[in-house]
Structure 1
């Protein structure tokens, strides 16, 4: 409850409270004696009424509402509104089988130029399940949206990508890293799409800047045109799987907001628990970019999204 004696100071700069219940009639408080209502008030206790008589007499609050909070309508939220939770390992074999068989059925990835097997890719994604679950809950988006982008990109991490990564290190340090010395065709490169979810230093900066400015993330605004800032961020997404995967939600939010600083897109609703298939498709497409290839690949990712969501739904509703 909010103490009216201090509510003129209640601005909640840390964002811990979404809304407030103002207890104007609670004993010991001074009620509406010259204090400003908190900016986030949802309900205000303005009077106490007595109903009944004798032993059946009770007092009830008479409250007014601002509309910021609609209150609780039931005790069992609709499945579409339930937050995702941690993965249940008893479903691991089934998830791996479905995801692997689907990717094989569409021939993605194909050939011998890829670094990791599909099982290794899925194992890496699921090893960071705690971070992915936390991010999905914090930003109220479907966990499958993060998993799909990560798994798809990691499966397509090729030896060409490794060569480009070595080129980035060469550009910024003047030396080819030990792991890239035997690679053919290493040339200097300012930035590359790297790590589990193939995130570049530039897009990482742009997406995180967008979330910082939106109040969703704490941190310093970096310059996406600065080679120094791009190199610093590139090293994080290249070397830290959790940081890389935790950037995906910000890439999705940035994409929904219109991808400021990149190829402009029309803003759409940010990822939500009740996202439609159309909205999901659009976010998956924007993750890859624009044009016919991005559209084609997004269509291929939709069944993969359905596989992840199938098991996430089973787990969150069990």
Structure 2
């Protein structure tokens, strides 16, 4: 929403500085953003006589401001400088008396309130604006609790500001209740100050000097308390930032030690004593934790030969992550090789699969790519014999920003999850990526476990984010093990025990029929021409009155069917059925649907809405019971595949009984189950088309057709198509007609290779 005072500030800064070399005008939209902050920063630099202008409020800007106006108040500061202050205050949400250039009472009160919100009022008292507070003002940082923020985190943020703002290079951090990159770096810098580092040495990085200092000076046990050095509070701050509930009072009590022990167990640290030792400090302060820890899991891009497998086992590893795919165009051959899984198992090792083609930039990720990745991962995992229930870790191998996750990665994984469910729920979705990616996908319910790329300590998606609660593997360092033929470079991973990998494989037998490929859309005109000619010949063509009774013409029906080609291809490959079976039935049902069918569907919906209301009334029978609808209908052939709910229940129960899908058994005699399935058939096109494929599989079972589904002959196919429509002579006629459509789709199939 636009703020008129922010718009006024934008108009003023543009009008005043538009002709200044290096000034970049800001859009006058009334919305605070970095562009407005940068414009005000450049305006300040011009007032300070700096050149060239830049977006950064860096050391030069701070030094010039400190030299010329160490305090801006009613006694010091030119009008334009005060107007910059007033404009920035409005952008931060603090009230003022307009952009007047006068450091009046309201401006002074807003500056004081800013100091209170940042926690520095005790050390920087009064109503004047000092350079470090001015620097904080010219950021997009918030100093009040934002949505989802923690008041306890904000309390610690304010304490860090008040305690360390006097140090040369400690600048005011956000006080928004959220752990973040800047807050994490500030915490490390504060620890460095307490370790005795001077301003030239303390840099906010978890380097060798900091690590040595922690080992020598910051080990904490029960009974420790802060005095001249504040190690306990800083350790408590690190625990709170990592979402572990301890007091922030500078006392290392038995209760604190108990919570620390819980964290140590969660992070699988070497010791779970509850003491603040170096590995515990490290795991709280940097994504790798102590990178010298030896894990029991690893991953690698190198083929694991028998000698390498023995070397890994001898080094204490039990689980190995290997890739299902290569990167297209790359010379690196990182995918699982023939015989490799057998070598790993023979050495006593289990395997977890990783799927990554590119995945190294945001533009790779999309719903369409997610669908492709899901199918490729399922097929490859099956070829290698990974069992049902295996988690496949789909890679996000870059420092994804929050907007990348929202706009690209979540839609990608939503489609991966949806497709894997449609293909029978055989495999579970995991993610390899930075902490923030893992956290957000888990929150969306799109993944079951995380393989965390914590070795990338500089990723913004790792800095300032706690270890995800669903972590399975934590990648912390690249090392080498073995010698000679057994020498191999690996990424060393800590394993939580959430995923033990797999040590039994049933690879696909050789010589199986080729699977069907996506349709070549350049052939659509020829396919449509053949379908139209065929339908005209069997009486399913478009007569004079057809548009009045049937909403979808033959060409429209072809387009609608091909619009689902990606899903149908995936279903055919996942369930090992000819895609022409699904296509021909779907096209037929889309074409033969009548304009009365939606009306019939409404009567089914009305019936079950009544049943729900009646059930609620019976729990508390006050007043008159709900009136039943005039027409009571409990089922109808609904959705693009024109499937009855009871037919769907029967087919899905059969598919579950043979291990094709993980569904719970449903009861066609229970109206709750019928209503639940009918709604999904009616509202979820993907579910409907998936069920269509399962109906054909159940039909073959009923007919006693046990041949490989990819090897059905024409008569077997005709009988299955007929069974989709029921039994008897009418169904037989239906099957014969649909078989003709099947032949046309087969004629226009994409050739293998």
Give the structure-2-normalised TM-score.
0.31
Indicate if the aligned counterparts of 1:252 and 1:271 stay in contact, CA closer than 8 A.
no
The residue number in structure 2 matching 1:59 is: none
- Tell me: CA distance 1:114–1:271, structure 2 relative to 1, closer, same or farther (3 Å): farther
Post-superposition shift, 1:14? 2.1
Post-superposition shift, 1:40? 6.0
> Aligned partners of 2:668, 2:585: CA distance in 1, in Å?
22
Indicate if the aligned counterparts of 2:386 and 2:506 stay in contact, CA closer than 8 A.
no
The residue number in structure 1 matching 2:346 is: 4
Query: Which of 675, 679, 701 is matched with 1:257 structurally?
Result: 701
Post-superposition shift, 1:115? 2.4
Residue deviations 1:276-310, cap 9 Å, x none? 00111111011111001011121111111100111
Query: Which of 232, 242, 245 is matched with 2:676 structurally?
Result: 232
The residue number in structure 2 matching 1:95 is: 527
The residue number in structure 1 matching 2:600 is: 164
The residue number in structure 1 matching 2:751 is: 316
* Count of paired positions: 249
Larger radius of gyration: 2
The residue number in structure 2 matching 1:106 is: 538
> Aligned partners of 1:276, 1:237: CA distance in 2, in Å?
30
Residue 583 of structure 2 is aligned to residue 147 of structure 1: yes
Query: Which of 716, 722, 731 is matched with 1:279 structurally?
Result: 716
The residue number in structure 2 matching 1:214 is: 658
Post-superposition shift, 1:39? 7.3
Indicate if the aligned counterparts of 1:165 and 1:194 stay in contact, CA closer than 8 A.
yes
The residue number in structure 1 matching 2:642 is: 198
> Please, what is the CA RMSD of the aligned residues?
3.0
Indicate if the aligned counterparts of 1:154 and 1:196 stay in contact, CA closer than 8 A.
yes
Indicate if the aligned counterparts of 1:166 and 1:186 stay in contact, CA closer than 8 A.
no
- Tell me: CA distance 1:103–1:147, structure 2 relative to 1, closer, same or farther (3 Å): same
Residue deviations 1:204-229, cap 9 Å, x none? 11111111111111222211111111
Indicate if the aligned counterparts of 1:204 and 1:233 stay in contact, CA closer than 8 A.
yes
> Aligned partners of 1:236, 1:206: CA distance in 2, in Å?
15
Give the structure-1-normalised TM-score.
0.70
Indicate if the aligned counterparts of 1:83 and 1:316 stay in contact, CA closer than 8 A.
no
Post-superposition shift, 1:268? 1.2
The residue number in structure 2 matching 1:85 is: 517
Unaligned runs of 5+ in 1: 17-26, 29-37, 43-67, 176-184, 259-265
Indicate if the aligned counterparts of 1:82 and 1:316 stay in contact, CA closer than 8 A.
no
Unaligned runs of 5+ in 2: 1-340, 352-384, 391-484, 487-502, 612-628
Residue deviations 1:111-140, cap 9 Å, x none? 432222222222221111111000001111
Residue deviations 1:54-76, cap 9 Å, x none? xxxxxxxxxxxxxx94x56xxxx
> Aligned partners of 2:707, 2:725: CA distance in 1, in Å?
17
> Aligned partners of 1:8, 1:122: CA distance in 2, in Å?
47
Indicate if the aligned counterparts of 1:152 and 1:301 stay in contact, CA closer than 8 A.
yes
SS in 1 for 2:704: coil
- Tell me: CA distance 1:41–1:280, structure 2 relative to 1, closer, same or farther (3 Å): closer
> What does 1:27-106 align with in structure 2 at a 5 Å threshold?
69=509, 71=510, 81-106=513-538
Indicate if the aligned counterparts of 1:223 and 1:229 stay in contact, CA closer than 8 A.
yes
Query: Which of 347, 370, 388 is matched with 1:14 structurally?
Result: 388
